[in-house]
Structure 1
Amino acid sequence: MPSLKLILNCLASGVTVFGAALPEPTAAIPATACTTGRPMTTAGYPMRYYAQATPSSDDLVNGYKPEPRWASQHLVGSYTFGVPEPVETGFAYAQFKCQYYCQNHSEGGSFFVRADSKVGSYCDCYDELMDPEIFVSNNQTLVGAWNAICKVGTRLN
């Protein structure tokens, strides 16, 4: 029977008593991208899980969108929602639906919605938060950007 000292030496050297190597430790799972913020309601539709993200520059009064390179690196899902009349209420409904669609694609992160009069609303889900500096000018004014609100006990990025 092997001594306790021999068993401890084998374990310390990364080899089990049976001679097989111990498995590598698992990599740490990155924290979910989320922010602090308060839920709000847009045209009667509750945005329970996301806080509005806005550009840092006042120069983007004619519309904005996430910077294309950033958007392509962090995109995890897209969907098109219809926009019923009146357009402002319909667009709020599309944002409301987009929050649930994006929750199914990424725990946390963000989403961006833009209206298109011919198609409806485009919903893009991202695995990272949209910082105010990532927005660039765009001629689309009916837009909405949202960052996930951290659940209680979730670490902030």
Structure 2
Amino acid sequence: MPSLKASLTFLASSTAVLGAALPNPTAAGSATACTTGAPMTTAGYPILHYAQATPGASASLGGYQPEPRWAQQHLVGSYTFGVPEPIETGFAYAQYKCEYYCKNHSEGGSFFVRADRKVGSYCDCYDELMDAETFVNNNQTLVGAWNAICKT
């Protein structure tokens, strides 16, 4: 029967070998998609957990939207909110509501809201951040794009 000292030495060396073979837990999983930024208020409605995402210069001239293939790959939820008059204030309210709808679908990520005067505002939640290259031109001008702010 091996001595206690020999058993502990074997156990310690086995742990070191096994520990070296296991992946680093911080590298194994992807981090929650979030960014730095400050909350803001739109038409009196606070957006507390997301910072505004802005498109590059080429995509913002006549309106913009997330690139369709990117949007399809990262979509985690959609909802349509009504937009009360006046439309600009109603749209700000829809963005406010969309923040909380998306927060329930993905911790982190982003959301995009576009207004349709006949239907309301479409809210799309994504599991990834939107950057300037994510956007493409679209004729819709009443839009808002938001990225999750990292918790500190």
2:19 alignment partner in structure 1: none
1:9 alignment partner in structure 2: 10
Cα distance in 1 for partners of 2:59, 2:104 equals: 34
Kindly indicate whether residue 75 of structure 2 is the aligned counterpart of residue 75 of structure 1: yes
1:59-138 matched pairs, under 5 angstroms: 59-138=59-138
Residue 135 of structure 1 deviates from its aligned partner by: 0.3
1:39 alignment partner in structure 2: 39
Q: Pick closer, same or farther for the CA change 1:8–1:80 going to 2, 3 Å.
A: farther
1:19 alignment partner in structure 2: none
Residue 139 of structure 1 deviates from its aligned partner by: 1.1
Cα distance in 1 for partners of 2:59, 2:73 equals: 25
2:48 alignment partner in structure 1: 48
Q: What secondary structure does 2:146 align onto?
A: strand
- Cα RMSD for the two superposed structures: 2.2
**TM-score between the two structures when normalised by the length of structure 2:** 0.85
Residue 150 of structure 1 deviates from its aligned partner by: 1.1
Provide the identity percentage. 74
Which residue identity is paired with 2:149?
Answer: I
Residue 33 of structure 1 deviates from its aligned partner by: 1.0
Residue 60 of structure 1 deviates from its aligned partner by: 2.8
Q: Which structure has greater helix proportion?
A: 2
Residue 38 of structure 1 deviates from its aligned partner by: 1.0
Residue 53 of structure 1 deviates from its aligned partner by: 0.6
Q: Pick closer, same or farther for the CA change 1:109–1:59 going to 2, 3 Å.
A: closer
Number of residue pairs matched by the alignment: 145
Cα distance in 1 for partners of 2:114, 2:137 equals: 13
Structure 1: tracts of 5 or more residues without a match: 15-23, 153-157
Cα distance in 1 for partners of 2:8, 2:37 equals: 53
Cα distance in 2 for partners of 1:30, 1:64 equals: 28
1:21 alignment partner in structure 2: none
Cα distance in 2 for partners of 1:141, 1:120 equals: 14
